[in-house]
Chain A
Amino acid sequence: MMVRWLLRGALVTAFALHCAAGHAQQAVRPQPLKSGLDFTGPEVRELQHDDFANPGMLWISRGEALWQEAAGPGRKSCAGCHGEAKTGMQGVATRYPRIDEGSARLINLEGRIQQCRESRQQAEPFKYESAELLALTAYVAQQSRGMPMSVAIDWQNRHNFEAGRAMYYRRMGQMNLSCAQCHQDNWGRKLGPETISQGHGVAYPIYRLEWQTMGSLHRRFRSCLSGVRAELMPQGSPEFLDLELYLAWRAGNLPIETPGVRR
């Protein structure tokens, strides 16, 4: 009797584990896809849509100035090679993060700007999360505003994509929560006073009212990790880049909103 009971218990556990594992294998997009803006209040939406009142526009203005600013021993500016950002950078942000041809590593928009700054301008790279890097990233991303994300998964980035997906479904921290448990399984429901969003990264860098400043997607990752009391990885770390790629795929064809405003 005891043995049968134990066996049944083990079977039930095995079945539950199998289901959980099966669920964790899936790379799925939420249906229907909704921007984070749909989960905010009317005031925040209005602030984002007003191109003057949107505080992120201050960073865009700074980015526009930096685009023209010569740097490094060769006194090269971004505009010197790429020309006007309005034409040259249009649609670029929809394709990031992507595999860098030279290093065969995954890089995001911030990483590409840093790489250009180091190898082409031979200037001191900006710190991740510095006002300058946020301004330039926001300025470049803004040139793709309204254009749908278009990150494709192929043999080159498959490995990173799988790593990002695994992280998305991995339970983390003292709260033992995965990204998916909130943003995939429970979006639209309440977490305290907040409505849980689908967790797309299409509006980044964003002006977050809580931060009172502009911040990168990786800063947002760290906020979430801190919320579930997990280990915080540094901005620009390979784990975060993989996760960013997974999110870029997961965002499907949502349009880019940079500079976004969120609570």
Chain B
Amino acid sequence: MTARIQVPAKAKRGEVIEIRIAIQHPMETGFRFDDGGRAIPKNVVNQLVCRYNGVEIFRAEMGSGIAANPFLDFFTVAEASGELVFDWVDDQGQTGSERAALTVTG
């Protein structure tokens, strides 16, 4: 699973920073049928968690209403230098992970 994350490399302590993540995923709704008339099983990224130095700061539980290649955008407060780790899993049990370093000054 290809994914892209955007986290500012540097921030001041207490600054509100924007974090963006895009995951390449078909987000199959479970409502579609293939050319042979067979139902295509539902397969969506059902959970995404972001941890900042081990502390969970963001969690998304997604369903069939989310479009393919989900794009999420949220904010957090820069507190200390460290790492943001993203983990997600889809209905077929496939997992994905991305990480980014953040340097906090001041």
Contacts and interface: CB of A to CB of B under 8 A. Distances in A.
Interface stretch (A33-41, A49-57, A69-77): A49-57
B22 interface: yes
Contacts of B71: 53, 55
Nearest to A55: B69
B82 interface: no
B22 A55 contact: yes
Interface size class of B (residues with CB under 8 A): 10 to 19
B48 to A, nearest CB: 15
A74 B20 CA distance: 39
B3 to A, nearest CB: 8
B100 interface: no
Nearest to B25: A58
A53 B26 contact: no
Contacts of A226: none
A57 B26 contact: no
Contacts of B3: 58
Contact of B69 (A52, A58, A65): A58
B67 A212 contact: yes
Contact of A62 (B2, B20, B27, B68): B2
B68 A213 contact: yes
A59 B22 CA distance: 11
A13 interface: no
B22 A57 contact: yes
Contacts of A58: 2-4, 22-24, 69
Interface of B: 2-4, 6, 20, 22-24, 26-27, 67-69, 71
Interface of A: 52-53, 55, 57-59, 61-62, 65, 212-213
Given A52-B6, A52-B22, A212-B67, 19 more contacts: A52-B20, A53-B22, A53-B71, A55-B22, A55-B71, A57-B4, A57-B22, A58-B2, A58-B3, A58-B4, A58-B22, A58-B69, A59-B2, A59-B24, A65-B2, A212-B26, A212-B68, A212-B69, A213-B68
